[in-house]
Amino acid sequence: MRLDLSLPHLRSRYLDGSLTPTALVEALHAQMLAEDALVDRHIWIHCLSLEAMTVYASALQGRDPKDLPLYGIPFAIKDNIDLAGVPTTAACPEFAYTPDKSATVVQRLIEAGAIPVGKANLDQFATGLVGVRSPHGACRNAINPDYVSGGSSAGSAVSVALGLASFSLGTDTAGSGRIPAGFNNLVGLKPSCGRLPTTGVVPACRTLDVVSIFALTAADAASVLAVAEGEDGIDSFARRMPEPGFNFGNATTFRFGVPRPQDLEFHGNAEGLPQFQAAVALLESMGGTAVEFDLTPFRAVATLLYEGPWVAERYAAIRPFIEAKPEALHPVTRAITEKGIQISAPDTFAALYKLKDLALQTHPLWARIDFMLTPTASTPYTIAAVEADPIRLNSNLGHYTNFVNLLDLSALAVPTGFMHSGMPCGVTLVAPCGKDFALLTLGAKLHAVAVPTVGATEHAPHQTGTLPDAKLFASEQIQVAVCGAHLSGLPLNGQLASRGARLLKAVNSAPDYKLYALPGGPPSRPGMVRVASGGAAIAMEIWEMPASQFGSFVAGIPSPLGIGTVKLEDSTLVQGFVCEAIATEGAEDITHHGGWRAFMASKK
């Protein structure tokens, strides 16, 4: 039976004294050598020696496990991320260099008690979603070695799935932290861009790259993220995250976007649709409401990734090396990367403008949903199939992943079941930047009810690890009733969306109000006034926003409008738009329309 390397299990054994870090690395090292030799999986580019692991384990002697959140936890590192004293190759031997310092995230993990065990195989220079573009051999799937592992973070995922590491670091530019998770029955977190610094990481597309986390459970991934996140003062792309606001992961009800039926593509996989529908049903049983949306603009964003400036950025990342030694690259990697030479400055700006336009088209969706749900990948492929058709099949795997980084979104791949072939399948939860911990919270609940085991092990998912606590969502929420141009789809709604507000529901006021079209403008404005008699119910929407954003929102409301207490038809009271009665002199009484939207429609 494979070692149980989940964080809660190891932590409990360290705390009761039944296991020491030195004993763990001894058992782990033997299993690592046996596993890779047994089926020739090509997991590692550099497996740390027992002596090297023991150095890290010995450094924990005399330390209290309670003081270090990752005490004695073994982890693997994708070989485009630096570990001091160990060569970084990016799966290109002639590119190799030996760093004096570890990458920022690696150093933070070691300081928290984690033990590095090896540098993992990858698609060369992180270019690919398959895990076969490596001179070290195709990394084989943990469940079925005839299938691809997924890439580019191939060995990172397989090492965790086979119980050779508790978690691992990968990188993700186009799906490299999600596809391997989906193909190996793991959780794969693609953090918000800039949440984890990339100092000490060989770039693919520096403007899009993130360090990703593979873990047995969402709780384990959350523990790793909490240790590794934060600016380091070196990486100019690292940044502070926006306030997390509403934690849909802890909500009893939530809304999630599902692509329209005509948008779903499984590339010939007959089991893809029923598996995805089963995941949708699971989320609905957990309190979710599925909201169909048009995937078209997101897919249009995805096509930019390998047609525009981001190909040139891949070339720029290794320009001195590829120009000096082009023959050193894997043939497929070279063919893709050298296309970057053809991208002109006008082409670059045209693509950037198009991305902005498409991003604007996608933005309104987030007022309707808390997160979107897609398949992680359409279908798994065998290694033989990918080697016979390397470009097209690789492209198919990015169908649901390529748009995420370009749109500055966060994502979490979660296992949800197995196909008749025994290969795992899963879904990806995608949310706006900064929503990583909300995704992890909900992902933990979904994972717990979806699959009985983790990775290729016989162990059940331990969901008792460190999940986000209340302080991560300390921003209180304030509900606001709107009745005019702030309604969804109307011109001022962006003032809510830009502050992280979410639409809760459409409501009517109590039948105690009159609605006026106030003079002035353009545009004309509504004024809602409570009256003693002659009033009616007015159509409104209830929005919820972080309390920290409420002040700036109210400050922007022009006189004679303001925020007061509004009574709803069910007699509850909520903060909402009201108008000074004196401002209705000379205004048009539009109460009979029942709401501002109906009034505006009557003017067309």
Average pLDDT over residues 299-319: 91
The answer to whether residues 85 and 184 belong to one domain is yes
Among the three residues 438, 472, 506, which one is the final residue of a domain in this structure?
472
In a domain, 92, yes or no: yes
Closest CA to 203 of 80, 34, 346, 107: 80
| pTM of this structure | 0.82
Residue 471, pLDDT score: 41
Q: Is the pLDDT of residue 1 over 90?
A: no
Q: Which residue has the higher pLDDT, 548 or 231?
A: 231
DSSP 322-363: HHH-GGGS-HHHHHHHGGGGG--HHHHHHHHHHHHHHHHHHG
Token pair recorded at residue 317:
């990342």
Sign of CA dihedral 124, 129, 130, 131: positive
- Bond before 152 cis per omega within 30 degrees: yes
d(CA 603, CA 601): 5
**What percent of the chain has a predicted confidence (pLDDT) above 90?**
79
Residue 181 lies in a domain: yes
Q: For residue 15, what pLDDT is reported?
A: 95
Task: Note whether 128 and 179 are same-domain residues.
Answer: yes
Query: For all residues of the chain together, what is the average pLDDT?
Result: 92
Q: Are residues 285 and 169 in the same domain?
A: yes
Report if residue 29 sits inside a domain.
Answer: yes
Q: Which of 18, 25, 332 is nearest to 166 (CA)?
A: 25
The pLDDT of residue 246 = 72
DSSP classification of residue 201: B
Assess if residue 2 is contained within a domain. Answer: no
Q: Are 381 and 301 contained in the same domain?
A: yes
**What pLDDT, on a 0 to 100 scale, did the predictor assign at position 381?**
97
- Domain membership of residue 102 (yes or no) is yes
Does 526 lie in the same domain as 383?
no
Does 439 lie in the same domain as 580? Answer: no
Same domain, 443 and 340: yes
Q: What is the pLDDT of residues 5-61, one digit of tens each?
A: 999 999 999 999 999 999 999 999 988 887 766 668 899 999 999 999 999 999 999
**Whole-number Å distance between alpha carbons of 98 and 534:** 80
Interval 252-308: pLDDT, tens: 889 999 999 999 999 999 999 999 999 999 999 999 999 999 999 999 999 998 877
Catalytic residues: 78, 152, 176
What 3-state DSSP class applies to 133? coil
Radius of gyration of the chain (CA): 26
Helix axes 272-285, 436-450, angle to 10 degrees: 110
pLDDT for the residue 374: 98
Residue 248 has pLDDT above 70, yes or no: yes
pLDDT higher at 365 or 500 = 365
1 occurs within a structural domain? no
Amino acid at 542: I
* Same-domain pairing of 388 and 511: no
State the residue for tokens 């749109």.
407
- In tens, the pLDDT along 464-521 reads 544 554 444 444 578 899 999 999 988 899 898 888 788 888 999 999 999 999 887 6
pLDDT value, residue 3:
82
pLDDT of 476 reads: 59
Q: Do residues 261 and 205 both lie within one domain?
A: yes
Q: Per-residue pLDDT for 351 more than 90?
A: yes
How many domains does the chain contain in total?
2
Task: Compute the distance between CA of residue 311 and CA of residue 575 in angstroms, rounded to an integer.
Answer: 49
Share of the chain above pLDDT 70, in %: 96
Q: Identify the residue whose tokens are 């007061």.
A: 564
Both 198 and 129 in a single domain? yes
Reported as a single tens digit per residue, the pLDDT across 127-161 is: 999 999 999 999 999 999 999 999 999 999 999 99
Give me the count of residues in the chain: 604
By DSSP bridging, strand 44-47 and strand 115-120 are antiparallel
Look at residue 243 and tell me if it is in a domain.
yes
Residue 167 lies in a domain: yes
Domain limits for position 512: 476-602
Domain final residue, candidates 437, 472, 507: 472
Residue 460 has pLDDT above 90, yes or no: no
Q: Are residues 461 and 578 in the same domain?
A: no
Domain stops at, among 452, 472, 492: 472
CA-nearest of 285, 288, 291, 287 to 449 is 285
- 515 beta partners: 528
CATH value at residue 552: 3.10.490.10
Q: Specify whether 388 is located in the same domain as 518.
A: no
Q: What is the pLDDT of residues 187-208, one digit of tens each?
A: 999 999 999 999 999 999 999 9
